[in-house]
Amino acid sequence: MKKILTGTIIDSKFPNKSTVVGENFELKIKGGIKGQVVEIKKAGHRKGKLINVLKSAPIETENNCEHLEVCGGCTYQRFSYENEIEYKRELLNKLYRDEGFDFDIEMVASPVYKDYRNKMEYTFSDEYKDGPLALGLHMKNRFYEVVNTTDCNIVSQDFNTIRAFTRDYFDGVLKPYHKMRHVGNLRHLLIRKSILGEILVNLVTTSEEFDYTTYFEELLKLELDGKIVGIIHTKNDALSDAIVPEVVEVYYGRDYLNEEVLGLKFKVGLYSFFQTNTKSAEVLYSLARDMLGNMGDKVLLDLYCGTGTITQIMGQGTKEALGIEIVEEAVEAARENAKLNGMTNIKFIADDVLNAVKDLEYVPDVIVLDPPREGINPKAIDKIIDFSPEKFLYISCNPVTQARDLKKFVERGYEIVQIKALDQFPRTSHVETVALLSKLDVDKHIDVEIKLDELDLTSAESKATYAQIKEYILEKFNLKVSTLYIAQIKRKCGIELREHYNKSKKDKQVIPQCTPEKEEAIMDALRHFKMI
């Protein structure tokens, strides 16, 4: 048995990592709050595993939840909300400073920090091996054990009522699905509730035969503040712990909610992505809209658009807007939502962003990015920046990957004009950040003396860079041209290029040829810069 060590957390990093120092050791752990005295087990040369908190941090002055000792759902239930905001702000500033950025982030509070979640995924398990049925959230640092979250304070009472009824109904009747032995029926309970009070209930089980009709009928008899508009039964035999919609049957009503955000109407499907804090989402989108300013007559491109919420909110009044999202169900919902709101200037494409941006003939003035937690695909980020819009608006649910990606934008000639954080997920370690990036004015920001003989360029090449040629063509002809096309036309005009410039290392590579329209534009640029 590994020895249990006692130490003090001397430092914490966003989102939820800490450094513990004790007698003759310093270890990194997941979880913990600066100032806590903790028990840990060594889990590697420099890593440990948090076992127990012996003494709370000085900032932990409250006790807001009966489940806080065991539930893994929240992190800051011992904080006052004011202290939570300040603590998160400090962690964020440290994160961005460590990545080389020098700015002080404004942390905006959520308008609600109780009863705010509009979606919960509960897991079935047992309270102990072969014990009573449990339905709730996973225990801290545990893979199997689940907490019966009888009075969770980040969801409305309707969630607690439906969860408790479901747990009591099946206790002693069916077994929870065991993730290692692959036996049992009950897997998950998913609940969604809109700001309008509409509720969806989705019971997730294995495909093993059982008549759930009585359970569904009794659900409809519950006294709730909201109203159940859909009861769905999902059958899932996948080995993973995720909800996989292999078979989806609507027992009652429909499989979507009606929702409203900033005066716009949205249909939110059972498995569609939608911000989990609707009231705070309105603050988030208002912040983003204010950052971008007047979008009249602008062309907008929204990448990772989900069900098109941002596309529509930001796309109001634009010349045109295009949203791209890989989940086809989300794109269908986005198209339907656009029709619902009478927006004829907005279109959507169902495709992976990495694939879609390769040959997309679109010239946006503004690009909005709201990628998943892993951030922008490293293979796609250069293609995205190549669109060279006036502005990027980068919305992120994971500042760690956002900070990584922002460095790439800065390297490519963009400056961070403004960045704000919103406490979109109160009581948890997560936040949402919004960064506005603007293209640098080359004349004002580049002040580097370079001797041309050090660059091995011909006099013709020295007159304009490829980037300047691209920008000239984009502004004058509203066309995007590649470096390869420019090189082809320069070679055609007898302008000497460096050896192997833009030549592929692959044998028998098929090289795309410049179109007549783009050739004419490039020729115009070469004449403009007096290169021919």
Active site residue 397: yes
State the DSSP code for 454. G
* C-alpha span between 375 and 207 (Å, rounded): 35
Catalytic residue among 71, 397, 493, 514: 397
Q: Count CB neighbours of 301 within 10 A.
A: 25
Return the HEC string of 79-109.
CCHHHHHHHHHHHHHHHHHHCCCCCCCEEEC
Q: Which residues, in sequence order, are bridge partners of residue 248? A: 234
pLDDT of the chain, 532 residues: tens digit per residue: 578 999 999 999 999 999 999 999 999 999 999 999 999 999 888 999 999 999 999 999 999 999 988 898 999 999 999 999 999 999 999 999 999 998 899 999 999 999 999 999 999 998 888 889 999 999 887 777 899 999 999 999 999 999 999 999 999 999 999 888 888 999 999 999 999 999 999 999 999 999 999 999 999 999 999 999 999 999 999 988 888 889 999 999 999 999 999 999 999 988 888 899 999 999 999 999 999 999 989 999 999 998 899 999 999 989 999 999 998 888 999 999 999 999 999 999 999 999 999 889 899 999 999 999 999 999 999 999 999 999 999 999 999 999 999 999 999 999 999 999 999 999 999 999 999 999 976 444 444 454 444 444 444 444 688 888 988 888 888 888 888 888 888 888 877 664 444 444 444 444 567 888 889 899 988 888 888 8
CATH class given for the domain over 119-261: mainly beta
Q: What CATH number was assigned to the domain covering residues 286-439? A: 3.40.50.150
**Residue 90 annotated as binding?**
no
Q: What is the DSSP letter of 479?
A: -
Measure CA 271 to chain center.
15
CB 366 within 8 A of CB 315: no
CATH superfamily to which 1-58 belongs: Nucleic acid-binding proteins (2.40.50.140)
Find, among 345, 287, 284, the residue nearest to 316 by Cα: 345
- The ranges assigned to domains in the chain are 1-58, 119-261, 286-439, 466-529
Distance CA 292, CA 437 (A): 10
Is 328 annotated in a binding site? The answer is no
The SS3 of residue 284 is helix
Q: Please answer whether residues 110 and 422 qualify as being in contact, where contact means their C-beta atoms are separated by less than 8 angstroms.
A: yes
Please determine whether the domains at 1-58 and 119-261 fall in the same fold group of CATH. Answer: yes
Query: Does 418 belong to an annotated binding site?
Result: no
Q: CA-CA distance, 457 to 411, in Å (whole number)?
A: 23
Residue 304 known to bind ligand:
yes
Question: pTM (2 decimals)?
Answer: 0.79
